[in-house]
């Protein structure tokens, strides 16, 4: 518990130090993780530029000033950044852009060179998408995101590769729940699954079959005792031999 408290304190201090005291803070919370290659804390930090919400990337090491890089400074608002870091040290940041048709975006940072890839749109053309979450499964980065379907919401999943056509997307489920889905994508060796809040006392989930590449039909777990508890039971089911 002491180690976790210290880590959270370092994240908070690094984020505050990297932001300009003259600029108002963005409303989204930053996302952070420890880079397993360097041991440094890396933060996807939403910031207010004075005219739009942008995203910075902050790298904080012991005894060093925070290193701040700009992920996006688009005139449109870029919302709710999330990050994932591979064992290689490479990092992916995903977010959604508040446009006429909202889009889920992504960039990759190379650990070896420190260079950022160009922006990529993860969601499909014409697909109003937001609130992404990203995970690295040891081979590829996967992004789950919400799709506005008018009377409900779809659960989309895309994989980011280095091929010429980098994004391969699937709609794995749909829900009519109008509250926050808190959509998450999870990875374990040989396993990939998504979970989302599907009602006041229900968590939905779908698992990818590694052999066929297909996603299972949506299943549901009672969350009467809490969403974390429901997600823990789903994880146990997915990881069962």
Does 23 or 52 have the greater pLDDT score? Answer: 52
pLDDT (tens digit, 9 = 90+) per residue, 94-110? 999 999 999 999 999 99
pLDDT of residue 18: 45
Kindly report the average pLDDT of the chain as a whole number.
88
Q: Is 28 helix (H, G, I), strand (E, B) or coil?
A: coil
| Mean pLDDT of the 212-226 span | 96
Residues sharing a CB contact under 8 Å with residue 211, sequence separation 6 or more, in sequence order: none
Domain boundaries along the sequence of the chain: 2-239
- Other CB atoms within a 10 A radius of the CB of residue 169 amount to 18
Query: pLDDT tens across 165-181, in order?
Result: 556 788 999 999 989 99
- Contact (Cβ atoms closer than 8 angstroms) between residue 34 and residue 7: yes
Cβ–Cβ < 8 Å for 30, 46:
yes
Contacts of 131 (CB under 8 A, 6+ apart): 80, 96, 145, 146, 181, 183
pLDDT at 25: 52
Write down the pTM of the prediction: 0.87
Helix (H, G, I), strand (E, B) or coil at 1: coil
Q: Is the pLDDT of residue 27 over 60?
A: yes
The pLDDT confidence band at residue 11, using thresholds 50, 70 and 90, is very low
pLDDT in tens, 107-137: 999 999 999 999 999 998 888 999 999 999 9
Confidence of residue 5 (pLDDT cuts 50, 70, 90): very low
* Res 100: pLDDT: 96
Dihedral angle at the C-alpha atoms of 42, 44, 49, 52, nearest 10 degrees? 170
pLDDT digits (tens, 9 = 90+) for 30-55: 999 999 999 999 999 999 999 999 99
Please provide the CATH number assigned to the domain covering 2-239: 2.120.10.10
- For the purposes of burial, counting CB atoms within 10 Å of the CB of 142, is it exposed (0-12), middle (13-18) or buried (19 or more)? buried
Which residue's structure tokens are 């009467």? 224
Judged against a pLDDT cut of 90, whether residue 161 lies above it is answered with no
User: Is 63 or 192 the better-scoring residue by pLDDT?
Assistant: 192
Strands 141-148 and 129-136: antiparallel
Residue with the bigger pLDDT between 16 and 199: it is 199
């Amino acid at each position: 518990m002491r180690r976790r408290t210290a880590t959270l304190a370092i994240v908070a201090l690094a984020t505050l130090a990297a932001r300009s005291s003259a600029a108002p803070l963005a409303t989204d919370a930053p996302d952070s993780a420890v880079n397993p290659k360097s041991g440094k804390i890396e933060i996807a930090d939403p910031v207010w530029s004075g005219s739009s919400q942008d995203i910075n990337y902050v790298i904080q090491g012991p005894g060093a000033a925070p290193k701040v890089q700009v992920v996006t400074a688009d005139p449109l608002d870029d919302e709710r950044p999330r990050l994932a870091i591979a064992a290689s040290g490479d990092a992916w940041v995903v977010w959604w852009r508040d446009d006429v048709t909202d889009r889920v975006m992504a960039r990759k940072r190379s650990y070896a060179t420190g260079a950022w890839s160009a922006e990529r749109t993860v969601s499909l053309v014409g697909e109003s998408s937001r609130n992404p979450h990203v995970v690295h499964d040891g081979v590829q980065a996967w992004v789950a995101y919400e799709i506005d379907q008018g009377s409900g919401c779809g659960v989309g999943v895309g994989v980011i590769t280095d091929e010429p056509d980098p994004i391969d997307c699937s709609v794995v489920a749909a829900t009519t729940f109008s509250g926050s889905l808190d959509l998450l994508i999870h990875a374990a060796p040989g396993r990939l699954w998504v979970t989302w809040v599907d009602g006041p006392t229900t968590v939905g989930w779908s698992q990818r079959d590694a052999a066929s590449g297909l996603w299972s039909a949506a299943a549901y777990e009672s969350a009467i005792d809490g969403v974390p508890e429901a997600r823990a039971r789903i994880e146990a089911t997915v990881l069962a031999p």
